[in-house]
Structure 1
């Protein structure tokens, strides 16, 4: 077990960033002000975004509501969920949510997601960031 502990201690931040970015699931990390800090390659592929275009930007501006859908409320639901996580300090698991994705040509593609937001704490118990998971369940929803 000592070798495992020594090896774990030798990991540095870039290794964890690379490991996070390589996760097969769709995750994005935002700070308490909703600025994007990191995203998995899977999340970027699912949303058609490029890492350099989203880092440091407000997630609600990176993923706006579809302006052609008057019922679109994805940004409101996401903002409220992040606010709940900050207030309750607990993971917020949301029901399946329609949240269309803006394509490179400016049009929107209908998409459905199973989202969750989880707080990440520092050693003092302060929330340093929020892990946003969003499983793309579009195929399952449209198959019904």
Structure 2
């Protein structure tokens, strides 16, 4: 969690309990933004296949903390994986390297 907070400049209380795509929406000013669509597709593959999905380098701009409506350009290298990896039932988990 600390790595996410550091990479995004967000506070823990802002993210706990928040829907991921409410906390990190696509930039509405960028008609070419694909972050939400690409991440959704990756998480769906993890759920369907039960295996990690390496998305490669992805541009996914994030809201700039304290600057309403502003977005910061970011590139991520996410690997989405089932968690826990050996349980009979699991949920996808996103790990990213910035």
- Matching residue within 43, 48, 53 for 2:4: 43
What is the SS of the residue equivalent to 2:39? helix
Structure with higher Rg: it is 1
The offset of 1:125, in angstroms, is 1.1
- Structure 1 runs of 4+ aligned residues shifted over 3 Å read 121-124
Equivalent in the alignment of 2:96:
134
Return the structure number with greater helix share.
Answer: 1
Q: TM-score, normalised by structure 2?
A: 0.89
In structure 2, C-alpha distance between the alignment counterparts of 1:41 and 1:125, rounded to whole Å: 28
What is the SS of the residue equivalent to 1:45? helix
Return the structure number with greater strand share.
Answer: 1
* Number of equivalent positions: 96
Unpaired segments ≥5 residues, structure 1: 1-39, 137-144
Equivalent in the alignment of 1:121:
84
In structure 2, C-alpha distance between the alignment counterparts of 1:57 and 1:43, rounded to whole Å: 14
